[in-house]
Amino acid sequence: MTAAATLTDVTMRYREHTALDAVTTSFATDGITGLLGRNGAGKTTLMQLLAGHRVPSSGQVRVLGTDPYEDDAVLQQICFVKESQRYPDHFRVRDALSAAATLFPTWDEDLARSLVADFDLPARRPVVKLSRGMVSAVGITIGLASRAPVTFFDEPYLGLDAVARQLFYDRLIADYAEEPRTIVLSTHLIEEISGLLEHVVLLDGGRVLLDDDVETLRASALTVTGPTGRVEALAREHEVLTRDALGGSTRAVLRLGRPLEPADLAASGLAAEPTPLQQLVVALSTRATGTASAAAAARTARSSTPYEGATR
């Protein structure tokens, strides 16, 4: 994989709180990555570092081969669509789009116009008068029409209804097919976007819990249902992520130590089905919670350093 953006041993501290702890990961040049994790896991912080909005307390951040912080040449190749983007009070929708058009050399005006039409955005209306979902649609329009080689969407769908979210996903995948680039999307609506993702980075308590291709991830887990004794026999050979017993039957999500053949499972009276990505992520995050909170407490106790990050 050729990486467009990398973090090497990056730690980000805000006063006594460690938001990212020795994170090493990278994002492929052509790929859509889901940046997942619970509230406060460090997703926004990670994207802010890669977008050059902050400098890390320690470690190395590289985007398109250079440190993005205060590097105008690389910054105009990075588009960061924030969850709560603010625009100047007097900006109308079309002003926000014109400003973006001047920022990004790769801006596609035709694409911007067609997204404005699809999202039914009123071009002359001040952004401050838009509904929450419409402001999100402005951000999405900018994110896609920028055609920036490296694009971050940080929970870009706030307030968007289900139809508009589907429109975003459809346009994202269509535009990506036409112009492949590095897209990182943070979201809590994992199942909705699981079909778009090629790769997943899961953060938990500022650490990388999982960094894998979606296909590999899907193949690594299985939901098995059947008589409790048989499920438990299988559970001894694999890691059990979740387990629900009802009467004499048990349903377990297994992280597989070795591949399992559906035919073998069926022969032993067990039903097997793929584990949805969202369920797998929830199970892995839940499993990590105990360990992560203990580690966070230890880090907080260790660290008495003042604020070490800088904001632009």
Ligand X SMILES: Nc1ncnc2c1ncn2[C@@H]1O[C@H](COP(=O)(O)OP(=O)(O)OP(=O)(O)O)[C@@H](O)[C@H]1O
* Contact range with ligand X by CB under 6 A, out of 42-50, 101-109, 135-143, 241-249: 42-50
Taking only Cα atoms into account, the Rg of the chain, rounded to an integer number of angstroms, comes to: 22
Task: Give me the least distance between CB of 305 and ligand X, in Å please.
Answer: 13
Which strand (E) or helix (H) includes residue 246?
strand 239-246
Residue identified by tokens 């269509």 is: 174
In order of 51, 145, 161, 230, the CA distances from 56 in angstroms are 12, 29, 35, 50
Residues in 101-130 at the binding interface with ligand X, rule: CB under 6 A: none
Round to the nearest angstrom and report the end-to-end CA distance of the chain.
31
11 near ligand X, judged by CB under 6 A: no
Q: Which is nearer to ligand X, 81 or 222 (CB)?
A: 81
> For residues 224 and 252, is the Cβ–Cβ distance under 8 A?
yes
The angle formed by the CA atoms of residues 246, 248 and 252, to the nearest 5 degrees, is 60
Exposed (0-12), middle (13-18) or buried (19+): which is 292, by Cβ within 10 Å?
buried
The answer to whether residue 43 forms part of the interface with ligand X (CB under 6 A) is yes
For every residue of 174-217, DSSP letters joined together read: HHHHHS--EEEEE-S-HHHHTTT-SEEEEEETTEEEEEEEHHHH
How is residue 32 annotated by DSSP? E
The SS3 of residue 72 is helix
Q: Which stretch binds ligand X (CB under 6 A): 1-9, 33-41, 117-125, 237-245?
A: 33-41
- From 39-47, 213-221, 225-233, 255-263, span contacting ligand X (CB under 6 A): 39-47
Q: Is 304 in the site for ligand X (CB under 6 A)?
A: no
40: contact with ligand X by CB under 6 A: yes
Rounded Cα gap, residues 142 and 47, in angstroms: 17
* Residue of the chain from 4, 7, 10, 19 that contacts ligand X (CB under 6 A): 19
d(CA 185, CA 81): 10
Q: Of 268 and 293, which CB lies nearer to ligand X in the complex structure?
A: 293
Closest CA to 23 of 35, 38, 39: 35
57 near ligand X, judged by CB under 6 A: no
Q: Which stretch binds ligand X (CB under 6 A): 37-45, 209-217, 218-226, 266-274?
A: 37-45
Is position 158 an interface residue for ligand X (rule: CB under 6 A)? no
* Options 11-19, 117-125, 192-200, 252-260: segment touching ligand X (CB under 6 A): 11-19
CB of 204 to ligand X, least distance (A): 10
44 lies in the site for ligand X, by CB under 6 A: yes
Q: Which of 45, 77, 182, 250 binds ligand X (CB under 6 A)?
A: 45
Q: Which of 28, 41, 51, 292 binds ligand X (CB under 6 A)?
A: 41
The residue ranges that bind ligand X (CB under 6 A) are 14, 17, 19, 37, 39-45
